[in-house]
Each structure stands twice: as C-alpha cells, then as structure tokens.
Chain A
C-alpha cells in the first residue's frame, strides 16, 4: 500500500516532464512517420497513404549513397574521437589526484558552448585563406594554399571529432573511475606487466564507458548538417543536408520525413548491431 502510493507520488512529480517529452518527441515522431507516407501537392499534402517516397529513396542511388557516406563519416569521427579521448579519460581517472574536478570542467567546457561557433572556428582554421594555409604560406613552407583542407570529408570528420570530444570523455571517465584499484594490484602481484594489466583488467572493465561514448557520438553526428554545410563542400555533404533541403528549398516535406525515418532506422540498426557484437565479444573475453 505504502509502496503503491510512493510510486504514484513519484510518477506525479515526473508527469510534467513526461508530458513535455511526449508532446516533444512521441507525438512529433508519430506525425513524422505518418507524413512519410503522404505526397506533397504544391504547398499542401495528399494524405492518401503511399510508399512512393520510400520507393524513390530506394531507386535513386543518391539517397543510399548519402546515407552510406554519412554513416561512414560519422563512424570515422566516432572512432577517432573515442581513440583520442580514451587516454585523456584514463589520465584524469588514474593520474590526476588534485583538482580532478578542474580537469573535468576544462575538458567538458567547450561542449556546452555554441556548436555553430565551434564549427565556424574550424572554418576559420581550415579555410582556403585560413589560419593553417596563411601561416604555412607566410612561413614559406608552401607556395599555394592547400585545397584539401576545407570542403572535404576530412575537414568534416576532424571538426565532428573535435566538437564531440567532451561527450566521449565523460562516460569513459566514469567507468574508468569506477574500476576497483585492488584488481590492478592483484594483476600486478600475479605477474602482469603494465601492458597485460591494461588489456586484461582496465580495458575490459572500462568497455561499458567506451560503448556508451561510441553510441553517444555516432548517433547524433550521423544526422549533423551544420558541419557538412559549412566545411563539407560537394564531397562532404551528408544526409542531414538533404533532409534539411526537403524542408526548405526543395519543399517536399513527406520526402524529408521518409529520409529522416530511413536515417533513424539505419542508425538504430547499426547501434543495435554494435551493441550485440560488443556483448558477444565481452562474453567471449570473460
């Protein structure tokens, strides 16, 4: 009885948040799914359900190519971010003893500030007339600006990795921090060197953090359109740009909705596949 009323009180405190989230996520997604089966007629919609949008997405190679490219680019950015951030998270978890909080704040501070401006900063750095090119030119190392810096997939991947770094560090730091230090001592006492100890104790135990970091970066970056719009050029365009165009200049909302749904499904499929394969690997290890 008491327990039941406690549950009730708990949920009543959660109600405002749940209502907002339902209005903000569930209902819009429902309509988005419905809309993906509609047809754009001028500025209105033909509500007769049809799978024409999905057929078109399957028929025209551009859509599939863009989705594949987006998944590949954000996959690259994710791998780069996780690999580069892991040592940092490890350093703060194991080697910082004083002012730990200060390090965490310093690492995560940029993440909270304007995404647009951080991407803009990379445009300034990588631009044709930008920081790197003009610095190299004035030193005399190169004769003409390096063109591959801006408007390339590399530029987008670098920027994405940089922009999401803080998001990757936190979960990995948390799971590294949780590792019981006496396990490491036990491994050492039983004869493991630092390398073996890392691969047999630290890495497997921090794997949950690595997995959440991977998903926390891969999922949102796949749909990014600001970075490719500012830095990608024609070769670096991602599916997000195409979706945005359907809701803007092209004005074909149902097609945009269908592309958004396809994007969500492909992300979900890859994320699930990734989670199952890591679960499988972990079971094999332990």
Chain B
C-alpha cells in the first residue's frame, strides 16, 4: 500500500464548523475552533517507544496527557493509543515529520484523527459547571485534575475531553466526530449562555 501523508496540504483544510461571531460566548466561557490545527494519532505496541525516540514525553498511564513547552499535546487514550496535537497552530512541521517518521516502524499504525475529528478549546471560569449540564463525568476542579482525559458522552455525542494548560491558560480540549461537531459546538454554546 502506498504511504499517504495525512498531514499534507495543510493550507487546503477547511473547517465545516459555523462558529458564529464572536467566539467568546460570554465573559466566563470562551470557545475556539481548533479543527484545522495539525494532529496525528498512532496505535500499536511500538508507539510509546517510537514517540520517546522522537523526543516526546508520554504519559505513563492511559487517560492522561502531557504538553511540551512548544505547545505539542500528547494524549494517551489507552495503553497503545496516542494522539499528538498542535495546540497553537505553530507545530505543523513537527507533526508532519512525526507522521513521516512512523513509516515502516514495527507495531506503529497511524490513525486518521486529523480528518475524522473536529477539535475545539473551551475555557473560562465556569467551564466545569457548564460541562456538568451536558456530561455525565464529573469534570469539576476537585475530581478532574489538570492533564486528565475523559472519553465519554457530551450532549449525547461521543467525545474526548482533555484538560490541560494550553497557551498558558487551563482549558478543556474537546475532540469529537467531525460529523457531529456542529451539534456539539451549538450545544456547548447553548449550555454556556446561562453563565453570563
């Protein structure tokens, strides 16, 4: 099979999300569309050592994340599944090089999360209270520490929620199937409205 580079043609990517304007829902909660930011996923028994060889720190246990000083976020979604995400649109070359470096590495298989998922960042003072309305998992400060990941249902849509310090501020990165992101965006915006 030919090796297709999923990170290529970054300038041709288009987000289908109609986010409305402004992205700041209110003074307490803000939402930012990160769908077009580069990301790549890997699954397999060889991924952990592959990422370490590439100079990335990886979390020791599933459902944890680490972020590098340069803004590359590494999510560990299971013992053998990792997603590497650019958090400030500056690490495209790194992600692309990482994807190309995985070619031919034993027990490392790429995942199509660039095109299969939408991604957005939600942050602000009342974000965890807002999530309590749409998500069954307790994401409050006490129960859900920074660097935790919850893979669960949000507003009846499957989603991955990663809490991490992104661009110097704590926030929740939400990844969800691309077909459902508009619904999820609107549902979160609607749930946020009352915290004005």
Q: Are A and B interaction partners? A: no
Chain A residues engaging chain B, CB cutoff 8 angstroms = none
Chain B residues engaging chain A, CB cutoff 8 angstroms = none
